[in-house]
Amino acid sequence: MKKLDWYILRQYISTFVFAILLLTFITVVIDTSEHSDDFVKSGLSTWQIIMQYHVGFVPRMITLLFPLFIFISVIFFTSRLAGRTEIVAILASGISFNRFLRPYWIGSIFFALVLWLSFRYVTPLANQVFSTFQNRYIDEPVFSSDYKANTIHFRNDSTHYGQVSYFDTASKRGSGFVLQEIKNHQLKQNIRSESLIWDTSGKRQRWKLESVTIRDFDSLGERVRQLPDTFIQLNFKPYEFKKGQYTKDVLKTPELQELIRKEKLRGAENINDLIVERHRRDATPVSIVLLTMMGVAVSSRKVRGGSGLHLAMGIVLAALFILTDRFSTIFSTKSSFPPMLAAWTPNIVFLFVTLYLFKKAPK
């Protein structure tokens, strides 16, 4: 790292930090004014609102707009370098354009790692704070932790299939439970119970069945047993019955991967949104490196119009990037477009755009 590298890297980091802090301040002011009535109705103090809402809202917004403001920041400070003829002087001194890009690579990889770690462990915690407040005071005027699910079909493992007619996540109690064991296309066991209860009284949490009827089938025929209650191990927990609009956002990446694995095992439908979210947590950090290089290619040439023209081009490209991302996501969640491809499509498309712009960049 030479003085030139540190100079460009400082410009990169300081411009981005200033831009994201300024945007965060403006966003918080606008959002607070829009939800002022909800805040008043909640009856919470200012400090409680900050801790229960803004502590989740601010990281959520920063993560959402992180790639966009990386792109705009790169265009802004690189355009200023070009406008002051600093890039011309750097290239004229014998430094190649590829060598000039070294601090951009370092800075973009650093920010990509920050965002990747945030997606895995930090942002889900912020989303959990935000979604709890949203569900309690904004989406539902009267808070209720109840969630009642009807007629749930599931696959517990490769041989066990079941159904719960009704389940309440508040009381962690269900009814109309059926579990069947099927091997080689033959029914081996059928378990029915009137109640399914999540039991936490013992050393380990497990499911309890009440008023149980067990039917075993073998070569000798059918054998029936009736029990007042029994315990059973199932491959899910009560909270997994609750599927809200924030489910995929509040799970850390390892938890999201485990949920996807279980949903596939159970034969659940419409899980493309979960899979897209999982792959996007890897694809979005990579897009930071891509957008940084594209921003340099757009703004490194000194042109008439200066930063204004460069920023206008950047905003257009950013809008196209976002549109590509939205369309690919919709095609995946609403049709048969592969989820992994949907998450990576914007990066693939704009990789070719970046390569084209690099051909046009000054060398």
Q: Would you place residue 298 in the very low, low, confident or very high pLDDT band (cuts 50, 70, 90)?
A: confident
Contact 56, 133 (CB under 8 A): yes
Q: How far apart are the first and last CA of the chain?
A: 21
Q: Domain extents for the chain?
A: 3-141+271-360, 148-241
pLDDT on residue 288: 92
Distance (Å, whole) CA 241 – CA 244: 10
Q: Would you place residue 106 in the very low, low, confident or very high pLDDT band (cuts 50, 70, 90)?
A: very high
Provide the token pair at 107. 């800075």
Distance (Å, whole) CA 260 – CA 184: 26
pLDDT on residue 144: 42
How many beta carbons lie within 10 A of that of residue 107, not counting itself?
A: 24
Contact 235, 262 (CB under 8 A): yes
Arithmetic mean of pLDDT, 2-26: 88
Q: pLDDT above 90 covers what percent of the chain?
A: 9
pLDDT on residue 143: 39
Radius of gyration of the chain measured on its C-alpha atoms: 27
Residue whose entry in the numeric block shows the structure tokens 């301040």: 25
Distance (Å, whole) CA 28 – CA 78: 28
pLDDT tens-place string over residues 23-75: 888 988 998 888 888 888 888 888 888 888 888 888 888 888 888 888 888 88
pLDDT tens-place string over residues 323-333: 888 788 887 77
Contact 249, 223 (CB under 8 A): no
How many beta carbons lie within 10 A of that of residue 172, not counting itself?
A: 18
Of 9-13, 25-29, 115-119, 249-253, minimum mean pLDDT range = 249-253
Contact 49, 42 (CB under 8 A): yes
Of residues 157 and 110, the one with the higher pLDDT is: 110
Residue whose entry in the numeric block shows the structure tokens 């951009």: 104
Residue whose entry in the numeric block shows the structure tokens 């770690």: 117
Arithmetic mean of pLDDT, 207-217: 90
Arithmetic mean of pLDDT, 241-248: 66
pLDDT on residue 109: 94
Residue 130: exposed, middle, or buried by beta-carbon count in 10 A (0-12, 13-18, 19+)? buried
pLDDT tens-place string over residues 131-184: 888 877 776 544 344 455 567 777 777 788 888 888 877 778 888 889 998 888
Residue type, 113: L
pLDDT on residue 78: 86
Of 72-76, 204-208, 338-342, minimum mean pLDDT range = 204-208
Contact 173, 193 (CB under 8 A): no
pLDDT on residue 142: 40
Arithmetic mean of pLDDT, 240-263: 77
Short-list 290, 282, 362, CA closest to 98: 362
Residues in the chain: 363
How many beta carbons lie within 10 A of that of residue 309, not counting itself?
A: 14
Task: Flag whether pLDDT at 306 surpasses 80.
Answer: no
Residue type, 39: F
pLDDT on residue 259: 82
